């Protein structure tokens, strides 16, 4: 007999797979077709965005949206927009002047495939596209709602969010960071956009309740940091093939990580604590928060 | 005795100078302070944006805004946002993988001053900032109005606007373009953001009249292309010192320009025709369109 917990896990895995396919469809529909001018740019934008990745930010948007009572069709474009911002950041992050990576999601990085100049423009145009899609979304009826999403996304992407975290990252190469500095960097670099994914999902509901928005926000802050701790652990442990991107690059680039600062065992302990914090943020809720809970487990226990 | 036309020109020059100082103030206020984290990124964002440039896009926003009845305080943030997008595009355009320019506005380009990686992030963070500022502007009261501006700006920046034009530009290095292809490229590369500047100014008015929005749009399309034709003429004629950036680079990079395709004399004739088209778009209006008319003259007769 199958244990109930496994049944639940199976149901979550099926849901996650469905949502990954769903956001892939939304992205496919909303990315400019590669047979429209400028064709090579559009082709490269699709190459950089489609066909890969765990879609963690979209899954968070869908899970938080359902938790707050939004229909899936309202969450589609916000979820896709966050994935587009994430894809843009990966393209720029992989460029030779940044991490100089050749491999991403098991295939050549965008600049390896299309050249550095076009990859730069792919990132720029993807950022614009994310804002454009939310601004023109027909499923979201309220201008105030869309404006709030655009504001959250712009803040999360900018100098006090993702770009700021990346700036701290490149400035600190070769300079050992304290644990507080490392945490500050990751809250911006990875955490801000993960949090934005969850919040955009929550705000996809027509009238999300304040307590649920706050719960989503607390949950997303903890799970965003947990995601990065796990990333550091995976980078230290995994091999390139399983990861689908160049492994061990943190050490290669002489970067501070949770593993270099805390050691592997304490880093794993920290991931567990952050997971517990995320769960605690949902403690007042019943079954309606189960997708978020399973997602937290997925983020902690992933192997890629 | 001073001719009336010169009096008018002097008045326009004073207005333009005031608006240039005004948008500089707005930018200075809204760019993140360089003593806040991440400090080097914020310092570089300010370096890339402040203290230079003709501010043509902001001048267009102010002139079109006044034409449509907007108060200056409503135009401030939209005008600054368009200049921020322009500054971001220059930073990325100057990078080694693009035009590889060392000099911009008479000083070292951002990547020469701060390194390629930080310059990449400066551009990314500036793009986010432009959207962020409009989304949170307190002067514009209507969510619909801000949403429309964000939509116009995102479209103008993206793959069918500025980034798309740049993509066509880099793809066509060494390949002679037809005049139609060159025009298509410039409508996207330079024209889209110039048009956005004018339209954002127009939409800063609480209730802009449809006929005036249309007039601004027609005007901006012609003057946007005229701007680029004049740019090509200046690049072919000027020396580096007067231009404040590396002159003759189009020829150096084997790029098609209006001068290489039409010859210098026909390029000048085309600039005059586009100027006349821009003026014709304003023919139903009296004194209230004078700022736009003077601005068209300024764009055509500038020497830098």
Q: What is the mean pLDDT of residues B292-299?
A: 95
What are the residue ranges of helices labelled H in chain A?
A: 4-30, 39-49, 56-68, 72-94, 110-114, 116-135, 143-157, 162-171, 179-186, 192-203, 210-237, 240-243, 249-252, 258-262, 264-280, 290-301
Asked if the Cβ–Cβ distance from B135 to A150 is below 8 Å, we say: yes
Q: What is the mean pLDDT of residues A159-171?
A: 95
pLDDT band at A5 (very low <50, low <70, confident <90, very high): low
Distances (CA, A) of B193 to A107, A289, B152, B255: 35, 44, 9, 21
User: Which pLDDT does position B3 carry in this prediction?
Assistant: 47
- The strand pair at B107-108 and B103-104 is best described as antiparallel
**Could you give the CA distance from residue A112 to residue B110 in angstroms, rounded to a whole number?**
25
Task: Please tell me the least confidently modeled range out of A65-74, A102-111, A188-197, B295-304.
Answer: B295-304
Q: What is the mean pLDDT of residues B42-53?
A: 94
Chain B: residue whose CA lies nearest to A134? B151
Measured between CB atoms, which of A97, A164, A184 is closest to B117?
A97
- Could you give the ipTM of this predicted complex? 0.94
Tens digits of residue pLDDT in A198-254: 999 999 999 999 999 999 999 999 999 999 999 999 988 875 555 555 555 666 667
List all residues 6 or more positions away from B1 whose beta carbon is below 8 Å from its beta carbon: none
* Percent of chain A residues topping a pLDDT of 70: 93
Distances (CA, A) of A4 to A8, A275, B275: 6, 21, 74
Q: How far is B259 from chain A (nearest CA, A)?
A: 24
Chain A: residue whose CA lies nearest to B95? A117
Regarding pTM above 0.80, the answer is yes
User: Which pLDDT does position A249 carry in this prediction?
Assistant: 63
Asked if the Cβ–Cβ distance from B159 to A118 is below 8 Å, we say: no
Asked if the Cβ–Cβ distance from A163 to B41 is below 8 Å, we say: yes
Asked if the Cβ–Cβ distance from A129 to B159 is below 8 Å, we say: yes
Q: What is the mean pLDDT of residues A148-156?
A: 98
Q: Please state, rounded to an integer, the average pLDDT across all residues of chain A.
A: 92
Q: How far is B27 from chain A (nearest CA, A)?
A: 15
DSSP B259-283: HHHH-HHHHHHHHHHHHHHHHHTTT
**Could you give the CA distance from residue B166 to residue B164 in angstroms, rounded to a whole number?**
5
Q: Is the pLDDT of residue A259 over 50?
A: yes
DSSP A218-244: HHHHHHHHHHHHHHHHHHHH--HHHHT
**Could you give the CA distance from residue B199 to residue B193 in angstroms, rounded to a whole number?**
10
Q: What is the mean pLDDT of residues A137-143?
A: 94
User: Chain A contacts of B32, Cβ < 8 Å?
Assistant: 159-160
Asked if the Cβ–Cβ distance from A125 to B159 is below 8 Å, we say: yes
Tens digits of residue pLDDT in B125-160: 999 999 999 999 999 989 999 999 999 999 999 999
Asked if the Cβ–Cβ distance from B98 to A117 is below 8 Å, we say: yes
**Could you give the CA distance from residue B284 to residue B215 in angstroms, rounded to a whole number?**
9
User: Which pLDDT does position A2 carry in this prediction?
Assistant: 41
User: Chain B contacts of A97, Cβ < 8 Å?
Assistant: 95-97, 115-117, 120
Q: What is the distance in angstroms between the CA of the first residue and the CA of the last residue of chain B? A: 29
Number of helices (H), then strands (E), belonging to chain B: the values are 16, 2
**Could you give the CA distance from residue A135 to residue A94 in angstroms, rounded to a whole number?**
28
List all residues 6 or more positions away from A295 whose beta carbon is below 8 Å from its beta carbon: A12, A16, A56, A59, A60, A63, A223
pLDDT band at B1 (very low <50, low <70, confident <90, very high): very low
Q: Is the pLDDT of residue A42 over 60?
A: yes
Tens digits of residue pLDDT in B178-226: 999 999 999 999 999 999 999 999 999 999 999 999 999 999 999 999 9
User: Which pLDDT does position A53 carry in this prediction?
Assistant: 86
Measured between CB atoms, which of B42, B120, B131 is closest to A92?
B120
User: Which pLDDT does position B47 carry in this prediction?
Assistant: 98
User: Which pLDDT does position B249 carry in this prediction?
Assistant: 63
**Could you give the CA distance from residue A253 to residue A248 in angstroms, rounded to a whole number?**
9
Q: Is the pLDDT of residue B45 over 80?
A: yes
User: Which pLDDT does position B4 carry in this prediction?
Assistant: 55
Q: Please state, rounded to an integer, the average pLDDT across all residues of chain B.
A: 92
Tens digits of residue pLDDT in B229-253: 999 999 888 755 555 556 556 666 6
User: Which pLDDT does position B2 carry in this prediction?
Assistant: 41
Domains, chain B, in order of start with CATH, read 4-301 (1.10.600.10)
Q: Is the pLDDT of residue A194 over 60?
A: yes
Choose between B4 and A21: higher pLDDT: A21
In a 10 Å sphere around its CB, with 0-12 CB exposed, 13-18 middle and 19+ buried, how is residue B235 labelled? buried
User: Chain A contacts of B129, Cβ < 8 Å?
Assistant: 154, 158-159
- Residue B142 is given by DSSP the state -
What sign results for the dihedral spanned by CA atoms B258, B194, A161, A26? negative
């Amino acid at each position: 007999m199958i244990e109930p917990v496994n049944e639940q896990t199976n149901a979550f895995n099926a849901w996650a797979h469905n949502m990954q396919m769903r956001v892939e469809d939304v992205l496919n529909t909303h990315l400019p077709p590669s047979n429209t001018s400028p064709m090579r740019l559009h082709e490269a934008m699709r190459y950089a965005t489609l066909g890969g990745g765990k879609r963690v930010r979209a899954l968070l948007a869908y899970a938080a949206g359902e938790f707050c009572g939004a229909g899936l069709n309202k969450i589609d474009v916000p979820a896709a927009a966050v994935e587009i911002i994430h894809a843009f950041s990966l393209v720029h992050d992989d460029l030779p002047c940044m991490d100089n990576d050749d491999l991403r999601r098991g295939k050549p990085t965008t600049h390896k495939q299309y050249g550095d100049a076009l990859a730069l423009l792919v990132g720029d145009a993807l950022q614009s596209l994310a804002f454009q899609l939310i601004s023109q979304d027909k499923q979201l009826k309220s201008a105030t709602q869309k404006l709030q999403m655009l504001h959250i996304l712009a803040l999360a992407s900018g100098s006090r969010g993702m770009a700021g975290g990346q700036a701290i990252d490149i400035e600190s190469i070769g300079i050992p960071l304290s644990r507080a500095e490392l945490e500050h960097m990751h809250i911006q670099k990875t955490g801000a956009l993960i949090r934005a994914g969850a919040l955009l999902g929550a705000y996809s509901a027509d009238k999300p309740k304040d307590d649920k928005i706050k719960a989503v926000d607390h949950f997303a802050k903890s799970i965003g940091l947990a995601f990065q701790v796990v990333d550091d652990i995976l980078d230290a442990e995994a091999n390139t093939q399983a990861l689908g991107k160049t492994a061990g690059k943190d050490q290669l680039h002489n970067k501070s990580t949770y593993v270099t600062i805390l050691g592997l065992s304490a880093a794993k302990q920290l991931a567990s604590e952050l997971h517990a914090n995320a769960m605690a943020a949902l403690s007042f809720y019943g079954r309606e928060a189960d997708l978020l809970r399973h997602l937290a487990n997925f983020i902690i226990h992933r192997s890629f």
